[in-house]
Amino acid sequence: MIRRIVSSAHRIRASPPRRWRSSTTCPSDVGVAFDIDGVLIKGKAALPQAIRSLRRLDELKVPYICLTNGGGMTEEAKAAELSSLLKTRIAPDQIVLAHTPMADLAQTYAEKQVLIIGRDSCRDAAAAYGLHRTVLAEEVLSWRKDIWAFRTPKPSVKLPSNIDLDNEPISAVMMFHDSQDWGRDIQIVTDLLTSNNGLLGTKSPTKEVNIPIYYSAADFLYSSSYPKLRFGQGAFHLALNAVYKELAATQGFRTTFPVTLYGKPETITYKFADRVLLQRRAILYPGLRDKAGVAGRKIYMVGDNPASDIEGANRYGWFSVLTRTGVYSGGPHSATAAVGDVEEAVDFIMNHSGVETLLK
C-alpha cells in the first residue's frame, strides 16, 4: 500500500473565500467518520481546524458522523456539548459513542440486574437503551461498605429501589466509560466473576465463570490536554485480567471469562457506524433513500490512533486518514494517508474522493 502524505504546505485555510466546482462524484456517495478526542477537540477545547472543516462538509452536504471510543453520557448530551465547542450543529444521530452499539444488549438484559462501570451519567445512557435495572459500583459500595475498605460513599448514595443485591444476581458487567476507582471496580468485578451465578458475597461451587463482561472500548492510551498520553479502558482491562488470573490460579477458578469488546477497532462498531452513516445520508438526501448505488460509496475514517481508528477502518474496508494532533506523532503506519490535522484530512478526502476541485 502506498502511503500518501499531505504536506502542511498544501493546507487550505478559511480565507480568502473559497470557490469550488463540483466533479462527477456526488457528495452523497462519500461519508466521513471523525474521531473526537485528538482530532476535533483537545481536552475541552475545539481545534480551530475542526470548526472550519465541519462547516466545509456541511456546505457540501457530505454525510459525516462522530465515531469515538469515549462516552459516559447520552448521545443527545454529547451532541449538545460538541455543537457548543465546534460552533456547528451536531445532531444526536451523528454521534456514535463507544457504548452506542451496546443498545442492542437491552434485548437480553432489559429487566435483569446489570453492573455499570463508569461515571454516574452512564446510567442515563443505559436507560435510554432500555436497560432498566442498572447499578453503579458506588451504589454497590453503599450496600456493603466492607466490600472495598478504602473508600466511603457519600450518604446520599443508595441502591436504586428496583435493585436487590441480597437475593438477586447481577447478570452482566457493562463498562460504559472509564473506571472512576480502579481498585473498587476490580474488587467488585472479580467478586462477581468468582460468585455463584452473579450473587455478590457468594462463591462458585463449580469454579466456572459465567458472568459476561462487555467493554465499550479497548483503547490502552488516549490523548487529552495533558502533555502525556493517558490510560484508557484498555489499561483497566489489562489490570483486571492480571488480578483475576492471579486470583484464579490461587483459588482454582477457570482462568478465562466471557468478554465482548465494542468500540474501535472492533468490526461490530464499524458495522454499526456504517449503518448510521447511511441513515445520515438518507436525511440529507431523502430522494436517495431507496435508490441503488450505496455499495459504491467512499467512506473515510479520520483518527489519531493507529491501533483503533486506523486498524478498524482498514479491517472494515474504509479509507483511513491518520492525523498527528493526538496519539500518533509520526513513524510507520497502515493508513491510506497521514496528515497534520483534521483540515488536511478533509483536503485529502475531497481530492481522493473527487467530490470537488479548488479553483485558484
What value does the mean pLDDT take over residues 248-254? 93
| Mean pLDDT, residues 47-59 taken together | 97
pLDDT, average across residues 72-95? 97
- 283: which DSSP letter? H
Q: How far apart are CA 100 and CA 36, in angstroms?
A: 15
Q: Which one, of 242, 171, 245, lies nearest residue 210 by Cα?
A: 171
- Higher-pLDDT residue of 16, 209: 209
Average pLDDT over residues 26-47: 94
Band of pLDDT at residue 89, cut at 50, 70 and 90:
very high
Q: How confident is the model at residue 292 (pLDDT cuts 50, 70, 90)?
A: very low
Higher pLDDT, 44 or 243: 243
Mean pLDDT of the chain: 90
C-alpha distance from residue 282 to each of 29, 197, 277, 293 (Å): 11, 45, 9, 13
pLDDT above 90: residue 75: yes
| Cα angle, residue 314 at apex, residues 24 and 214 outer, rounded to 5° | 125
Percent residues over pLDDT 70 in the chain: 90
State the cell numbers at 282: 438518507
What is the predicted pLDDT for the residue at 295?
66
pLDDT band for 7, please (50, 70, 90 cuts): very low
Mean pLDDT of 76-81: 98
For residue 309, is pLDDT > 80?
Answer: yes
Per-residue model confidence (pLDDT) at position 157: 96
Question: For residue 173, which of 192, 195, 145 has the smallest C-alpha distance?
Answer: 192
Burial class of residue 351, CB neighbours in 10 A (0-12, 13-18, 19+)? middle
Higher pLDDT, 208 or 81: 81
pLDDT of residue 272: 97
pLDDT tens figures, 116-171:
999 999 999 999 999 999 999 999 999 999 999 999 999 999 999 999 999 999 99
Cell of 300: 473515510
Q: What is the pLDDT of residues 92-111, one digit of tens each?
A: 999 999 999 999 999 999 99
Q: SS3 of 7, please?
A: coil
pLDDT at 4: 30
Cβ(355)–Cβ(28) below 8 Å: no
CA angle at residue 348 from 344 to 349, to 5 degrees?
A: 115
Question: 132: alpha, beta or left, given left = phi > 0 and alpha = psi -120 to 50?
Answer: alpha
State percent of the chain over pLDDT 90: 82
- Confidence class for position 358, pLDDT limits 50, 70, 90: very low
Cβ neighbours of residue 140 closer than 8 Å, sequence gap 6 or more: 115, 147, 159, 165, 188, 200
pTM for the model: 0.86
